[in-house]
Amino acid sequence: MSLEDRLLELVGEAAEVFGWEEFGEETDVEISESEDFPHPFTDIVHDGAVFRLFVTDRGSDLNHDLADFFENYREFEAEYEDVEQATLVWRAANDEDDFWYLRRTEEGDIGLFHSDLSLEEDEDEEEEGNGKKL
């Protein structure tokens, strides 16, 4: 599967988690590359928020990669400082069913969230318990 296909698949799954009804299979995904960001990515601006989605080029080891992802998030957030909410969304190359994301919580902390737990939260209509503050 090509990178564009994998990113498009991730966009579709993120659309489900974040409630983007107007996004579907016909959505164009523009892949960008930057010297400041280690992976090809796509940025989506939606309802006052910006989402940077990417697929890592290898399997993810959160113990090893998390510090880098937090640094990437801080740089991404600074790049879009005029936007209400910034969210960094990624999937490991070897993962097909879920993804991780970082965003600021209502308390102002950076939270680490998992897509499966976010979907369960939506089904239960609860707003807390799907992430960890770090």
Which tens digit of pLDDT belongs to each residue from 91-106? 987 777 789 999 999 9
Predicted local confidence at residue 8, as pLDDT: 84
Which element (helix H / strand E) includes 67? helix 62-79
For residue 122, give the amino acid letter.
D
Counting the structural domains of the chain, the total is: 1
Predicted local confidence at residue 70, as pLDDT: 94
Residue 12, burial from CB neighbour count under 10 angstroms (0-12, 13-18, 19+):
middle
The predicted model scores a pTM of: 0.81
Q: Tell me: the pLDDT tens digits for 17-69? A: 888 877 655 667 788 999 989 888 999 988 889 999 999 877 667 778 889 99
CA gap 29, 8 in Å, rounded = 6
What value, to the nearest 5°, has the Cα angle with vertex 95 and ends 92 and 96?
125
Q: With 80 as the cut, is the pLDDT of residue 132 above it?
A: no
Predicted local confidence at residue 25, as pLDDT: 58
Answer whether 88's CB lies under 8 Å from 111's CB.
no
Full domain range(s) for residue 106: 3-133
